[in-house]
Amino acid sequence: MKIATLVLLLATLLIATASAADQAADNSAATSVAIDFARPSGKIRALHGVNNGPVMWGYADDVTKYHVDAGFPSTRLHDAHWPSPDVVDVPCIFPIFDADADDPKYYCFTKTDAYLAPIVKHGSRITYRLGTSIENRLRNVIKPGVNNHPPKDYAKWAKICINIIRHYNEGWANGYHYNIKYFEIWNEPDGVGTWTGTMEQYFKLYEVAAKAIKAHDPSLKVGGPVMGGPIPFDTEPFLTYCRDRKLPLDFYAWHYYTDAPSELARVAILARAFLDKYGFKNAESHLTEWHYIMPPGLPDLGPVESLGDPQPKKMADIRKYFAEMRGPKGASFTATALMLLQDTPLDMSNFYAADTNPWSMFDECGIPGRVYYVFLAFHQLTKTPNRVACEKQGDPQSKVTLCAGVSDDRKTASILVSNFAATPHKLSLRLQNLPLPQPVQVETFAVDATHAFASLGKTTWKRDESTLTLELPDHAVYLVRLGPASAK
């Protein structure tokens, strides 16, 4: 048995064990945490990227303000305007594959131009997924789908992709100069509704497209294989293929959905290990889809013959599922994951999603769920980017996770705390060597069942008091902000 196979089996066992432990841990005991501002612990990395931009074609057509306030550092484009995509996808921009790929008149850029504009305006870094959106429902009605087949001419498909790049980076066809750097080749070729070909066909498509894009502009970053799981690193054949043919692989894109935050951290470490093993030590690792998913996952609606049946009970279950996913439990999961990922060699992550599709942090009317407010809190944490040491003492099974940092001018500090448990938890924060001018104003913001990043009040902290006490409800996220007492 290969060493890599043994590693994967071990990882699978660890992940399954972690999932059970994460859900079953008792959180009844108190925890004490020493936060030492004189012990630097690297930088707090802005890993709170998302999928999809803020403009939709529907009742809730614009959530731009929410995107700006949360400061999403990166935006991956995939399933835009789901379930009826009319932007971003290659067939949406170039709908007649047999047309002349060099003639601008056959390209339909207008809607995608409008879709990208607010993302670029507000400074979020784009990862452009070249390919198509998922066709789960469509696949059941029109077997085996419409746009999820291997292109009939790989070289022509690559040329179309390059002209899309030229439009957004080089001004081609009345285009722009957006300087988009990251381009994914397809999406989840191992998934249902996304790819009808074989893995070998995908590998060849990646080879042709990646070589063409790099030949056109070596500064661009190409990535794949964008596998969907269940463990996305059973893709050794892809890495072998790229290594043996010396193909460009600037970033390794992978997806992971789970109910245990620790899994994301473990798998991120595995991703880096696989890249290094196959010689891609300079390739970045991108988690381009993730969010909380309740076991055993979304209820199945059944075969195509049942699609005419409204199935109200199943639909009610699905509605409940989505509400929990974007509610307090999903929020505490998300905050915990964002903090645990700080200790992994992950380069970028993109939560799925930030538009109004059912898996989004917003509902279909554009109303933010509790998950959105966690992103808002995490963005505030990144404004104090100099991470400091946090050491927990007390209940070893505590599902409380913390991250603390201080600003560059050492005048403000913040502490993010997540309780990913179904029981309340008492937390004592011992602040050591706090560099802020005295006295210090402390303001706590809560994201829980009754608060949407709401202030719980302000207090004045003095050095001789040393300890702050927090009473965390179940599935709660608190941001503690420390600054000059005179601050408005």
Please check whether residues 457 and 331 belong to one and the same domain.
Answer: no
List the structure tokens of 164.
């899309």
- What was the pLDDT predicted at 193? 84
| Residue 11 domain flag | no
CATH code, domain carrying 466 = 2.60.40.1180
**Residues 53 and 31 placed together within one structural domain of the fold:** no
Mean pLDDT of 161-184: 98
Is 60 within the bounds of a domain?
Answer: yes
Average pLDDT over residues 279-287: 97
Residue scoring higher pLDDT (487 or 277): 277
Higher-confidence residue of 463 and 366: namely 366
Residue 153 maps to a domain: yes
Domain membership of residue 233 (yes or no) is yes
Residue 17: which pLDDT band, with cuts at 50, 70 and 90?
very low
pLDDT for 230 beyond 70:
no
Question: Measured between alpha carbons, how far is 222 from 183 in angstroms, rounded to an integer?
Answer: 5
Whether residue 181 is found in the same domain as residue 77: yes
Q: Helices 199-216 and 236-244, interaxial angle, to 10°?
A: 40
| Predicted confidence band of residue 8 (pLDDT cuts 50, 70, 90) | very low
Its domain, for residue 218, covers 49-382
What tens digit of pLDDT does each residue of 286-339 get? 999 999 998 777 766 665 555 667 778 888 888 888 999 999 999 999 999 999
Residue 127 phi, psi (nearest 5) = -110, 115
State the pLDDT at residue 16: 35
Alpha carbons 157 and 56: distance in angstroms, whole number? 27
In 3D space, the residue among 270, 223, 267, 266 whose CA is nearest the CA of residue 247 turns out to be: 223
Asked if residue 373 and residue 263 are part of one domain, the reply reads yes
* 58 vs 225 pLDDT, higher one: 225
Q: Is pLDDT of 23 > 80?
A: no
Instruction: Indicate the residue among 333, 365, 382 that finishes a domain.
Output: 382
Q: Give the model's pLDDT for residue 201.
A: 96
- Averaged pLDDT score across all residues of the chain: 89
Structural domains counted in the chain: 2
Q: According to the model, what pLDDT value does residue 461 have?
A: 85
CA angle, 368 as apex, 454 and 180 as ends, to 5°?
Answer: 115
In this structure, the answer to whether residues 323 and 391 fall within a common structural domain is: no
pLDDT exceeds cutoff 60 at 111: yes
% of the chain beyond a pLDDT of 70: 87
Minimum mean pLDDT among 285-289, 363-367, 409-413: which range? Answer: 363-367
Q: Indicate whether 178 and 35 sit together in one domain.
A: no
Residue 132 lies in a domain: yes
164 and 277 both lie in a single domain: yes
pLDDT for the residue numbered 56: 77
Of 382, 412, 428, the domain-final residue: 382
pLDDT number for residue 217? 98
Ranges 142-151, 200-209, 330-339: which has the least confidence:
142-151
Q: Is residue 13 part of a domain?
A: no
CATH number of the domain that residue 247 is part of = 3.20.20.80
Tell me which residue of 237, 161, 165 sits closest to 202, measured CA to CA: 237
Residues 35 and 58 both lie in one domain? no
Mean per-residue pLDDT, 339-366:
95
93 domain-assigned: yes
* Pair (284, 427) in one structural domain: no
Find, among 190, 220, 222, 202, the residue nearest to 151 by Cα: 202
pLDDT beyond 60 at 411: yes
Query: How confident is residue 232, by pLDDT bands cut at 50, 70 and 90?
Result: low
pLDDT at 234 > cutoff 90: no
Distances in Å between the Cα of 64 and the Cα atoms of 344, 362, 452 are 30, 12, 18
Same domain, 424 and 410: yes
Report the Cα 182 to chain-centroid distance in Å. 15
Q: Which residues pair with 13 in a beta bridge?
A: none
Q: Residue 265 and residue 274: Cα distance in Å, rounded? A: 15
Residue 5 has pLDDT above 60, yes or no: no
Q: 336, 353, 382 — which closes off a domain?
A: 382
According to DSSP, the β-strands at 476-484 and 452-461 are unpaired
Flag whether pLDDT at 140 surpasses 70: no
Q: How confident is the model at residue 438 (pLDDT cuts 50, 70, 90)?
A: confident
Residue ranges of alpha helices (H) inside 57-109 are 64-70, 90-93
Phi, psi of 2 (to 5 degrees): -65, 150
What DSSP line would sit under 202-214, residue for residue? Answer: HHHHHHHHHHHHH
Residues 355 and 372 in one domain: yes
pTM: 0.91
Residue 368 shares a structural domain with residue 457: no
Q: Give, in order, the Cα–Cα distances in Å from 417 to each of 39, 47, 292, 362.
A: 19, 17, 18, 23
C-alpha span between 371 and 377 (Å, rounded): 10
Look at 168 and 394; give whichever has higher pLDDT: 168
Q: What is the pLDDT of residue 22?
A: 45
Q: Is residue 20 part of a domain?
A: no
